[in-house]
Amino acid sequence: MEQYKQEFIEFMVESDVLKFGEFTLKSGRKSPFFMNAGAYVTGSQLMRLGEYYAKAIHEKYGDDFDVLFGPAYKGIPISVVTAVAFSKLYGKEVRYCSDRKEEKDHGADKGSFLGSSLKDGDRVVMIEDVTTSGKSMEETVPKVRGAANVEIVGLMVSLNRMEMGLGGKMSALDEIRETYGFPTNAIVTMEEVVEHLYNKECQGKIVINDEIKKAIDAYYEQYGCK
């Protein structure tokens, strides 16, 4: 596993973004782990987050794209810090764009989008925190494609939960790829998280012990993608 992925896994735990225990998800599933990207709140955390996203995007999609699109709300800061990191790490200027939940009908920047406007010919990388159901893509992909004649290069999320999406046949990331026809990737997968953290110390304690590992295995028996 690449060094930046190992660092990112520990960074999620250190930042209290990735937690282990028992959580009820929006879908109603009881999960032994939970990820909340809203817990990245400090300047140094956001700077590092942007750099991990930039490294993963550069590895998977290169730098032949023009715009980072982050769906509101959590995608907004992620797209901003990743655009900053891309400029810093690779000397490549990319624009950021996000959608508004409610259209603004006054002022010089009225409309459905924040940041850069989308133009014909733009190559766009979609960026999100985590995808469990793919619902946000259902709302934003038509908006992005309807705004201009753009090409969506791919989607990058923090964590691939590796569980069944709404269709019940494949993961949410695979469903998005099948539905919209662009590649989908994550900085790390849950399998990589378990591999890196199981019975290893992080922040002075064992985060995934035998009991948590057993709960994760049972969860994937029920909801995992074969």
Domain range list for the chain: 3-223
Nearest Cα neighbor of 96 from 74, 121, 125 is 125
Asked whether residue 129 is marked as a ligand-binding residue, the answer is yes
Judged against a pLDDT cut of 70, whether residue 216 lies above it is answered with: yes
Judged against a pLDDT cut of 50, whether residue 117 lies above it is answered with: yes
Mean pLDDT value across residues 110-129 = 90
Higher pLDDT, 78 or 204: 78
Nearest Cα neighbor of 128 from 170, 103, 98 is 98
Active site residues: 104, 106
Residue 215 CB partners (closer than 8 Å, separation 6+): 22, 32
* Integer CA distances (angstroms), 51 to 13, 69, 109, 147, 157, in order: 17, 16, 29, 28, 13
First to last CA, the chain: 21
Mean pLDDT value across residues 174-182 = 93
Higher pLDDT, 194 or 131: 194
Judged against a pLDDT cut of 50, whether residue 53 lies above it is answered with: yes
Asked whether residue 75 is marked as a ligand-binding residue, the answer is no
Asked whether residue 29 is marked as a ligand-binding residue, the answer is no
Residue 137 banded pLDDT, cuts 50, 70, 90 = confident
Mean pLDDT value across residues 103-108 = 49
Q: Which two tokens stand for residue 32?
A: 């032994």
H/E stretch holding 124: strand 123-127
Evaluate the CA torsion angle 32, 223, 74, 26 in order and state its sign. negative
Q: Which two tokens stand for residue 27?
A: 């879908």
Mean pLDDT value across residues 100-118 = 67
> What's the confidence (pLDDT) of residue 226?
60
Asked whether residue 135 is marked as a ligand-binding residue, the answer is yes
Write down the number of H helices and E strands in the chain. Answer: 7, 10
Overall fold of domain 3-223: Rossmann fold (3.40.50)
Asked whether residue 161 is marked as a ligand-binding residue, the answer is yes
Higher pLDDT, 123 or 106: 123
- Alpha-carbon distance of 18 to 108, in angstroms, equals 39
Asked whether residue 134 is marked as a ligand-binding residue, the answer is yes
Residue 107 banded pLDDT, cuts 50, 70, 90 = very low
